[in-house]
Amino acid sequence: MVEAILGHERNIAFLQRAVAGGRVAHAYLFYGPGGVGKATVARMLAAALLCPQVAAGKPCGACDDCRLFARGQHPDWYQVDPTGATIRIEQVRRLQQILLRRPLRGRYRVCLMTNAEAMSTEAANCLLKTLEEPPAATVFILTSDRWHDLPPTVVSRCQRLRFDPLPPETVASWLVQRHGVEEQRARLVAYLACGSPGRALVLAGNPDLEEVRRRVMETVAELPAMGIGALLRRAADLAEGGRDAVDYVLGILLWWYRDLVVWHLTRQEAYLRNRDCMAQLQDRELGTAGLLASLVAVMEARRQLLAYASPRLVMEVLLLRLAEVIPTDGATGSGGAL
């Protein structure tokens, strides 16, 4: 199980030492971007805590407890996920009632709460009482893509481990070797996913990958000539697939503008991610200030999307900002058009 986890070696080693030395915290907060492996490592920790034959902090993978856990049937393992967009107070209260009893099979009970930032205020306050006076032999693991949205009082009761995006090269190699993705496609989706294996795997299976990329690049090229009506219609079209679709569009734009900046400054093809689009990259001279403003606008749009702003609104505002930095006469110097 441990060997199958991609990256995060330092966090894994830290947790294994904690299990082996009997120094397990009563609550952990695993935070970082979505899809980088937080929940996978949480399950590894849970398996180790529930395994009676754990060695060097690693579950044996062969005992009855490990098999029960692998099937999601271990009686001392609990998982709380958002109901819709929220973790409700009723879910936390139900968990508290369950935790009144002692572990049924081993030394610990383990509870994983995914997307903990989705807790309602009432649910967070209810959980806080449990974290302040944790039940014996119970370990909580909270995962969060946006831990700053959690109440500071909850965060302060947890031992925090940061999970960073993985190097895109690592993700691309994993896609090729583990999932049989074609090498060029694997490199593309690894960069578009910004180091998230989970997102990269979803993108790799998207049959419309290249078509959406083509439409995004056409949109940027056409922005100088677009009126406000056409711009808003194009934003609605790109946002039609909801949050995931807009996240994909923003990934394309992020790396596109990054490449434009790098090409403008270096003229070195080896540094580029969109090497198959050299004709568009070389199409015209562009000003560094405008390119950087465009890049910042895309990054801000991603931040807003992560904060659960309306995907369509995020797309509309972004296209308006990108159009604003492009010279209306198409002249060289400050714009971000292709």
- Whole-number Å distance between alpha carbons of 176 and 190: 11
Query: What is residue 1's predicted lDDT score, i.e. its pLDDT?
Result: 55
H or E stretch covering 289: helix 288-306
What stretches in the chain show pLDDT beneath 50?
328-338
Question: What fold is seen in the domain 207-338?
Answer: Zinc Finger, Delta Prime; domain 3 (1.20.272)
- pLDDT at residue number 335: 40
| Cβ neighbour number for residue 215 with a 10 Å cutoff | 15
Residue with token string 């369509």: 312
Q: For the chain, first and last CA: distance in Å?
A: 46
What per-residue string of b and e applies to 235-249 under the rule 16 or more CB within 10 Å gives b? beebbeeeeebbbbb
| pTM of the predicted protein model | 0.79
Which CATH number is correct for 2-162, 3.30.43.10, 3.40.50.300, 3.30.710.10, 3.40.630.10? Answer: 3.40.50.300
**Backbone conformation region of residue 180, classed left if phi is above 0, alpha if psi is from -120 to 50, else beta:** left
Give the span between the Cα atoms of 327 and 247, in whole angstroms. Answer: 27
At 328 the pLDDT is 47
User: How far is C-alpha 114 from the geometric centre of its chain's CA atoms?
Assistant: 13
Strand ranges in 52-125 using DSSP code E only, listed in sequence order: 77-80, 109-113
- Whole-number pLDDT of residue 285: 57
pLDDT of 326: 66
Structure tokens at 75: 């009686």
Question: Running DSSP on this structure, what letter comes out for residue 167?
Answer: P
